[in-house]
Amino acid sequence: MTSRIAIALVTALFGVSGAVVPDAAVAQTAADLVGSWAVVSVDNVNPDGKRSPAFGPNPKGVVILDGHERYVEVILRSDLPPIAAGSRMQGTLEENRAVAQGVLAFYGPYSISGNVVTLSVDGSSYPNWIGGDQKRTITSFTREQMTWTNSVGSSGGLVELVARRIE
């Protein structure tokens, strides 16, 4: 038995919190994930393994999971164009399209079962998700960083998000 598996078993069986298991996806509790997480990367992952950044090379964003099982997730392209008119209500077709395709924001309650986080969507900048659930599978977790995947991303296909804890 490897030490990583042993640590995961001890953590799961005895509720030891704060254990760091690098690159392991062990069963998480809400308490492990509570906090603010800065988005590091968001990649579309093709079946052949080829990756492309879903929100450009340096996405901005945050995932906030609170202790009352509520969340908010906001992801932005870092190169969003300014609205030339100076009013978000007066953007050109091109400006509005760039913003609509470069921003994803949603919020609601969340729950955790094993390494799957279910995000129930109360509101979203992508209206197709409102009223539904989004499942995220944690594939890597440490106190400082987590990686989760979404098998049905808003742009289609598998999406992998990496986030770093904000202290």
150 found inside a domain: yes
Question: Which of these, 56, 24, 51, 22, lies nearest to 40 by C-alpha position?
Answer: 56
Over residues 88-146, the pLDDT tens digits come to: 999 999 999 999 999 999 999 999 998 999 999 999 999 999 999 999 999 999 999 99
Specify the residue for token string 């509101």.
Answer: 123
CA distance 150 to 54: 12
Alpha helix ranges (H) inside the chain: 3-14, 30-33, 93-102
7 found inside a domain: no
9 found inside a domain: no
The predicted pLDDT at position 100 comes to 95
Domain containing 63 — which CATH number? 2.40.128.280
Over residues 76-86, the pLDDT tens digits come to: 999 999 999 99
14 found inside a domain: no
Specify the residue for token string 């919020």.
Answer: 107
Counting the structural domains of the chain, the total is: 1
Sign of dihedral through CA atoms 21, 23, 25, 31?
positive
Specify the residue for token string 């921003």.
Answer: 103
Exposure of 55 in the CB half-sphere (CA atoms within 13 A): 26
Q: What is the mean pLDDT of residues 41-49?
A: 94
Q: How confident is the model at residue 163 (pLDDT cuts 50, 70, 90)?
A: very high
123 found inside a domain: yes
67 burial class (0-12, 13-18, 19+ CB within 10 angstroms)?
exposed
35 found inside a domain: yes
Containing domain of residue 78, as a range? 22-166
pTM of the model: 0.81
Q: How confident is the model at residue 1 (pLDDT cuts 50, 70, 90)?
A: very low
